[in-house]
Amino acid sequence: MCFYIEEKNRLVKTAKRAIVVYKRVEKIGRRTKTVRSEHQYMVYELGRLYKTTFGKHNSVIAQGFHSYTAKRAKTRPYGNDGIFSDDFFVKVRCHIPKGTRYYKNVGMGEYVSNQITVKEIITKQ
């Protein structure tokens, strides 16, 4: 999944404090603390810090951890009924840790960062 940097937000930022964000993921099994991203199929364990480097070409980030503000995560258009239209997917609360490099598209409520921790599953489907 590609992240398109808005012209006004082209510079990478560094988190001055932890930023609370959300992701839509697939829960793996009924009693597990493991989830999988819907586009890259990355497996995340709750509570573990994940790191990567940005894969950037001009104004497109092709590698990084995608996440959304609470408002955007609730309305991101997947399927017919919005983000939670699919029974296999749940919403998770994540942290972009202090010191993490990130880009943000303010109008879309979308982030891409080089570090993320999935903290907890907050919805059930």
How confident is residue 100, by pLDDT bands cut at 50, 70 and 90?
A: very high
pLDDT at 11 over 90: no
Count how many domains the chain has: 1
- The DSSP H or E segment spanning 108 is none
**What pTM was computed for the model?**
0.78
Using DSSP's 3-state secondary structure scheme, residue 6 falls into: coil
Q: What is the pLDDT of residue 94?
A: 95
What phi, psi does 121 have (nearest 5°)?
A: -80, 125
SS3 readout for 28-96:
CCCCCCEEEECCCCCEEECCCEEECCCEEECCEEEECEEEECHHHHHHCCCCCCCCCCCCCEEEEEEEE
**Per-residue pLDDT tens for 51-78?**
988 876 677 777 788 888 875 555 344 4
- Which range of residues forms the domain containing residue 44? 3-121
